[in-house]
Structure 1
Amino acid sequence: MCGLLAYLTDRWADVSPELVDAVSGAAHLMRHRGPDEPGTWSDGDVVLGFNRLSIIDIAHSHQPLRWGPPETPDRYVLVFNGEIYNYLELREELAAEHGASFATDGDGEAIVAAFHHWGTAALSRLRGMFAFALWDTAERVLFCARDPFGIKPLYMSTGPGGTAVGSEKKCLLELAGPAGVDLGIDERAVQHYTVLQYVPEPESLHRGIRRLESGSYATVRPGEAPEVTRYFHPKFAAVPFVAGREQSRYDEITAVLEDSVAKHMRADVTVGAFLSGGIDSTAIAALAMRHNPRLITFTTGFEREGFSEVDVAVASAEAIGARHVTKVVSPAEFVAALPEIVWYLDEPVADPALVPLFFIAREARKHVKVVLSGEGADELFGGYTIYREPLSLKAFDYLPQPVRRSLGKASKPLPDGMRGKSLLHRGSLTLEERYYGNARSFSDEQLRATLPGFRADWTHTDVTAALYATSDGWDPVARMQHIDLFTWLRGDILVKADKMTMANSLELRVPFLDPEVFAVASRLPFDQKITRTTTKYALRRALEPIVPAHVLNRPKLGFPVPIRHWLRAGELLDWANETIAASQAGDLIDLAAVRRMLDEHRSGASDHSRRLWTVLIFMLWHAIFVERSVTPLISEPHYPVQL
């Protein structure tokens, strides 16, 4: 787990000592991703920078890493962020079939050798999380790639001076001058963020910086724009259960999860686990205990009754025999950390759960260097309550579309909150119209009142239309899962997981997001994911022998955050008032409208907590990265010692 940076010059420019220094300085901004060992390498066309967090083959596997076949032993130079969990098997296969030899015991050489012998097909053979840049000194080509699900980030910018690629956007902002990159604010991306609570890939809030999408690779030559290709095309292709053989399918789920956790435990450092009290993290921790009986688990809570998973997590840790560590966060700590957290994020993410994640990652790093977590289970196995919506709206499927539209119109005059109004409205819409992921804070009317530059043609269909076209003919839950794989999962869940743990020099691994686990989960039929009484039905059945009974059927909570209450009084209300008063983002956000929202929320007239949080986090991001009026206190890497 590390931070990488690459700068490829224009065709007519050579790498200068000043450019090497600029790349080295920019890479230092993400030293938290790899405090163990910095490194740089350059030739006439490219500069590579790196910050290493040593996890596997600690004494060797230094980066930038050089490898090549016997005839050209230093042909390739790699900078790589992530872990390849099947690297031992790949190295063995490459040695047996192609005579590949290796100078280290790590996973980096497996990537380069696989690419050399198998080309881009190697990407589908890598079982892990990765973002890397590979410079071919013979062909003078920079090859970049991300893992199928987007667990690890990769930003890209191209201008007249060259192309920069990096793990963190702040590094590319630093190199925008030499590259000649446009740093104007993308107002369409601002509107997408306000609707979705995150900036959807491949966008960023700066016009000249984009992200390489999950499951894609890019080829870059000096003086040319990157050529991007998608290699991962996920499909939810249901295979009906055979009557009387259901248990064999549940056993298949158990077996693939056991194998994934075993692979994810490979490390030369201590591995722990996050434990939220839900079924997903508890299952991962229980399976990890089989490989490390001294496993330490971690959870967090708040100083407010009813907003803590601590008691359930403690009971779960006791049930599986794990040592447990708890971090309780006060409102004052919460507010004080926000500028630092947003700086680490690079782009605003309006999910309050990332704040407790930041604190528990900081606590965990005092004890371990790697943690396992349960992200991805909901998207793969059907875990979100909203996935049950097709069942609740089933009756509308039998009505002609004009009748459904009429019912939707009839619901508009009904008072907000009136029983049945929401059902009539949702039933009048097609799936494509009503569902675009797990977040919607603003209606169109509220958006129009909040964004001075609001445009009706900048809608969620910018993000979802092509995804729905790909999933045509699938069952409705599969289509919703497909949307979430490309939106909520990679835009919110995995961004906060990567950024908040890396902020604390901690590696987070997600065994559910494994190609082999996805292959099994993607074949589950509708009724094995969602029923009228539960979610993740097949996964729950598969985990019955593994997960404690008190967790097996608990509703999903995650790390709940009491922002609704805190925005009505105390530190968070004071922070909100100060943020609005100081903001210079009035050309993008109507500050008077936000003030009215805050007043209505504080009085109890309305619950605007999620909408307020969305725009307040944007204002803080704007103050840090655009106005430069807020300078977060960023400490040196917190725990540079080996654990």
Structure 2
Amino acid sequence: MCGHVSIYYKNRNKDLEIEKLVENINHRGPNHTGIYKKDNIEFAFKRLSILDLENGSQPFEKNNNTIIFNGEIYNHNILRSNLIDKGYEFKTNCDTEVLLTSYIENKEKCVENLRGMFSFIIYDEERNLLFGARDHFGIKPLYYLDNSDFIVFSSEYKAIVNLLDEVNLNEKSLQNYLSFQYVPLENTMIEDIKLIPPGYSFTVKDGKLELKKYYKVDFIPKKHITANDVKEVVADSIKHHMDAHVEVGTFLSGGIDSTIVATIASQVNPNIKSFSVGFGVDGYDEIEVAKKTARVLGIENIDINVTQQDYIKSLPEVFYHLDDPVADPSQVGIYFLSKEAKKHATVVLSGEGADELFGGYNIYKEYNSVKPILNMPRGIKKALNGVSSVMPNIKGKSYLYRATTPLEDRYIGNAKIFENDEVRKIVKNYSENNEYQKILSSIYEEARINNYDYVTTMQHVDVNTWLEGDILQKADKMSMAQSIELRVPFLDKEVLELAKHLKIDQKISNSNTKVLLREAFKDIIPLHMVEKKKLGFPTPIRVWLKEDLGDVVRQTIHDADVDEVLNKDYAINLLDNHIKDHQDNSRKIWSIYAFCLWHQMFMENKIIKY
């Protein structure tokens, strides 16, 4: 919906010129700029008008409290009614006033009642403190910088990075990034800039920032869930996510998640427009499936084809808008989808989150195949693991390794790029203390305490890493780059409260994923989509790296001033072997390239154009 910057001055040694800072994120809210300054507090806000177009400007003040808020509160009408019953009056129809009034009534406990996506900060003048929070899943980002003179928050760190006296690379983050393809947890690629974690609130008082976890995503089956239960709660969430005073559209891929969203959305609004993207390369294009779905639903479908040259030219802008590098090639597709959708709508619905909540990733199915070995005695598994380590790269090697290696020693989420031994060859300052097993140790400990099964443990890792670090980062940044709001109905508190109870056989079978979700919607979505297997978001970098894209990648790695931290020769060798078809190194090459391009823009301050 918007973007904001806020400053809490500990010492007023200099004016940080908040008006200039917020202009760096004008794309997040081009409709209106609002500035608030009082005492040692400054707020700056960029608005993308969605609700109450006439009266929803921010910063918003009420009863000596002032708020800046990015996101949407989907239960704002219910909260408003409850607050009116308690004697509160409202002068707008926007959810911003409801959120602020809820704080006035409930103080820090207001976050317990919210259903939505949000990052917000409130200045409570009477209590002389800042209070803020980030939503349950981390849909909306919030970065911060805390030093001896000030604490500054921003929706994107490009607005505040120049406040650092010296911009230093976080080499721990670099090492993690090469395994995860994003920087995990609360760190960023830049030292001193961090993220407020999902499900956390915070206070700033007397110059001290304190964080508190208010919401925990868990998966503990306690009751029986039916297909009808799933259909009701998901459909309800989609309807709530269509609340807007502007045009709402929907992304439509060749997958079941966006198909479910588009189906329910078309029942609410038969005139809704859908948007699809393809790349014109065999095996990497789902436009025809999406168009078939749209025809069955009777809704308009607008498709775009991204050529290799389109893709290449967009890369500097794509990675600029991401802030931290995210080495997921599919984000370029979201960028172009958002660009096209902006011509027709201000809000779009998308299917992110269904895989994490309902068991949708194909890798989750490995449980059924490795189950016979999991229950073997430890000694036998250890021996088989030793066999796998000395086997040549033949069929069965990977299976034996996965079946005999504990999840915590190998699974870091839906994507793993480099193993530790290969990261050691790439980075110049490798540290065993930063290996991915240690980064995820607390997450796996939570899984053990909760007695999670195999698949649920995978989900738990993905929700706490991959979902925020990859899926939601690219969704927010690529859509907001085009001044369009992307909403994710599956990532709803009420949907999670149901999905947390699913059992393994309601998530995966031998042949497919999201078993109960498919069952719930099989009678209303187009028949050709009911059992369609997940393909992800296919992007043809494997093919293009052997063509013009490979030349661009090679030149960027060569030009980037990263010799002190990366082994460039190793990277170029990966590219050469890929081009010669010795092995598919596309994701590894892409991860190194993405970092190098990021480094040129954020560390070397270069303006890059292809």
* Alignment TM-score, normalising by the size of structure 2: 0.98
Instruction: Name which of 157, 163, 167 aligns with 1:183.
Output: 167
Distance apart, 1:462 and its partner CA: 3.4
Q: Does 1:422 align with 2:403?
A: no
Distance apart, 1:274 and its partner CA: 0.1
The separation in 2 between residues aligned to 1:190 and 1:290, in whole angstroms, is 46
Distance apart, 1:573 and its partner CA: 1.1
**Alignment-mate amino acid for residue 321 of structure 2:** Y
Counterparts in 2 of 1:613 and 1:600: CA distance versus 1, 3 Å: same
Q: Does 1:478 align with 2:467?
A: no
Counterparts in 2 of 1:329 and 1:167: CA distance versus 1, 3 Å: same
Partner of 1:471: helix, strand, or coil? helix
| 2:235 and 2:264 in contact (8 A); partners too | yes
Distance apart, 1:631 and its partner CA: 4.2
Residue equivalent to 1:639: none
Alignment of 1:48-87 (within 5 A): 48-68=43-63, 75-87=64-76
Distance apart, 1:555 and its partner CA: 1.3
Q: Does 1:288 align with 2:268?
A: no
Partner of 1:457: helix, strand, or coil? helix
Instruction: Name which of 144, 152, 155 aligns with 1:156.
Output: 144
Alignment of 1:393-542 (within 5 A): 393-416=370-393, 418-472=394-448, 473-542=451-520
The separation in 1 between residues aligned to 2:432 and 2:162, in whole angstroms, is 34
Partner of 1:393: helix, strand, or coil? helix
The separation in 1 between residues aligned to 2:582 and 2:608, in whole angstroms, is 35
Residue equivalent to 1:641: none
Instruction: Name which of 232, 237, 255 aligns with 2:220.
Output: 237
| 1:9 and 1:222 in contact (8 A); partners too | no
The separation in 1 between residues aligned to 2:457 and 2:404, in whole angstroms, is 18
Residue equivalent to 2:580: 603
Structure 2 residue runs of 5 or longer lacking an equivalent are none
Distance apart, 1:28 and its partner CA: 0.3
Counterparts in 2 of 1:534 and 1:515: CA distance versus 1, 3 Å: same
Distance apart, 1:363 and its partner CA: 0.4
Alignment of 1:558-577 (within 5 A): 558-569=536-547, 571-577=548-554
**Once structures 1 and 2 are overlaid, which stretch shifts more, 25-34 or 403-412?**
403-412
Residue equivalent to 2:91: 103
**Once structures 1 and 2 are overlaid, which stretch shifts more, 182-191 or 275-284?**
182-191
| 1:388 and 1:532 in contact (8 A); partners too | yes
- How big is each residue's C-alpha offset from its partner over 1:529-581, in whole Å with a ceiling of 9 and x where there is no partner? 11111110000000112211101111112331111111112x20110121122
| 2:260 and 2:521 in contact (8 A); partners too | yes
Q: Does 1:31 align with 2:11?
A: no
| 1:162 and 1:222 in contact (8 A); partners too | no
**Alignment-mate amino acid for residue 122 of structure 1:** C
The separation in 2 between residues aligned to 1:26 and 1:339, in whole angstroms, is 21
Distance apart, 1:240 and its partner CA: 6.0
- Identity between Structure 1 and Structure 2 (%): 38
Residue equivalent to 2:5: 5
- How big is each residue's C-alpha offset from its partner over 1:111-161, in whole Å with a ceiling of 9 and x where there is no partner? 111112122222121111000111111112111210000000000110111
The separation in 2 between residues aligned to 1:386 and 1:493, in whole angstroms, is 17
The separation in 1 between residues aligned to 2:198 and 2:346, in whole angstroms, is 25
**Alignment-mate amino acid for residue 458 of structure 1:** N
The separation in 1 between residues aligned to 2:312 and 2:535, in whole angstroms, is 22
- How big is each residue's C-alpha offset from its partner over 1:464-490, in whole Å with a ceiling of 9 and x where there is no partner? 211222222122111111111111101
Alignment of 1:361-372 (within 5 A): 361-372=338-349
**Once structures 1 and 2 are overlaid, which stretch shifts more, 104-113 or 556-565?**
556-565
Partner of 2:434: helix, strand, or coil? coil
**Once structures 1 and 2 are overlaid, which stretch shifts more, 77-86 or 549-558?**
549-558
Partner of 1:174: helix, strand, or coil? helix
Q: Does 1:548 align with 2:532?
A: no
Residue equivalent to 2:337: 360
| 1:301 and 1:559 in contact (8 A); partners too | no
The separation in 2 between residues aligned to 1:290 and 1:396, in whole angstroms, is 47
Counterparts in 2 of 1:353 and 1:273: CA distance versus 1, 3 Å: same
The separation in 1 between residues aligned to 2:356 and 2:112, in whole angstroms, is 20
**Alignment-mate amino acid for residue 530 of structure 2:** L
Counterparts in 2 of 1:461 and 1:101: CA distance versus 1, 3 Å: farther
Distance apart, 1:445 and its partner CA: 2.3
The separation in 1 between residues aligned to 2:163 and 2:22, in whole angstroms, is 10
The separation in 1 between residues aligned to 2:263 and 2:336, in whole angstroms, is 23
| 1:135 and 1:143 in contact (8 A); partners too | yes
**Alignment-mate amino acid for residue 133 of structure 1:** I
The separation in 2 between residues aligned to 1:438 and 1:460, in whole angstroms, is 14
The separation in 2 between residues aligned to 1:235 and 1:585, in whole angstroms, is 40
The separation in 2 between residues aligned to 1:346 and 1:222, in whole angstroms, is 30
**Once structures 1 and 2 are overlaid, which stretch shifts more, 50-59 or 588-597?**
588-597
Partner of 1:235: helix, strand, or coil? coil
| 1:240 and 1:525 in contact (8 A); partners too | no
The separation in 1 between residues aligned to 2:376 and 2:217, in whole angstroms, is 32
| 2:313 and 2:609 in contact (8 A); partners too | no
Partner of 2:440: helix, strand, or coil? helix
| 1:239 and 1:525 in contact (8 A); partners too | no
Distance apart, 1:175 and its partner CA: 2.8
Distance apart, 1:444 and its partner CA: 2.1
The separation in 1 between residues aligned to 2:20 and 2:223, in whole angstroms, is 55
**Alignment-mate amino acid for residue 197 of structure 1:** Q
The separation in 2 between residues aligned to 1:402 and 1:218, in whole angstroms, is 48
The separation in 2 between residues aligned to 1:471 and 1:101, in whole angstroms, is 45
The separation in 2 between residues aligned to 1:471 and 1:405, in whole angstroms, is 23
Residue equivalent to 2:210: 227
Distance apart, 1:174 and its partner CA: 2.8
Coordinate RMSD, CA, aligned: 1.4
**Alignment-mate amino acid for residue 165 of structure 1:** F
Distance apart, 1:494 and its partner CA: 0.4
Q: Does 1:134 align with 2:122?
A: yes
Instruction: Name which of 181, 189, 200 aligns with 1:197.
Output: 181
Distance apart, 1:403 and its partner CA: 2.2
Structure 1 residue runs of 5 or longer lacking an equivalent are 69-74, 634-643
Residue equivalent to 1:42: 37
Distance apart, 1:456 and its partner CA: 2.3
The separation in 1 between residues aligned to 2:438 and 2:42, in whole angstroms, is 35
Counterparts in 2 of 1:499 and 1:103: CA distance versus 1, 3 Å: same
Instruction: Name which of 363, 375, 380 aligns with 2:357.
Output: 380
Alignment of 1:298-309 (within 5 A): 298-309=275-286
Distance apart, 1:463 and its partner CA: 3.2
Distance apart, 1:332 and its partner CA: 0.4
Residue equivalent to 1:170: 158
- How big is each residue's C-alpha offset from its partner over 1:11-49, in whole Å with a ceiling of 9 and x where there is no partner? x437x6x43xx2111100000000000111101211101
The separation in 1 between residues aligned to 2:206 and 2:524, in whole angstroms, is 53
**Alignment-mate amino acid for residue 586 of structure 1:** D
Instruction: Name which of 348, 358, 366 aligns with 2:325.
Output: 348
| 1:343 and 1:632 in contact (8 A); partners too | no
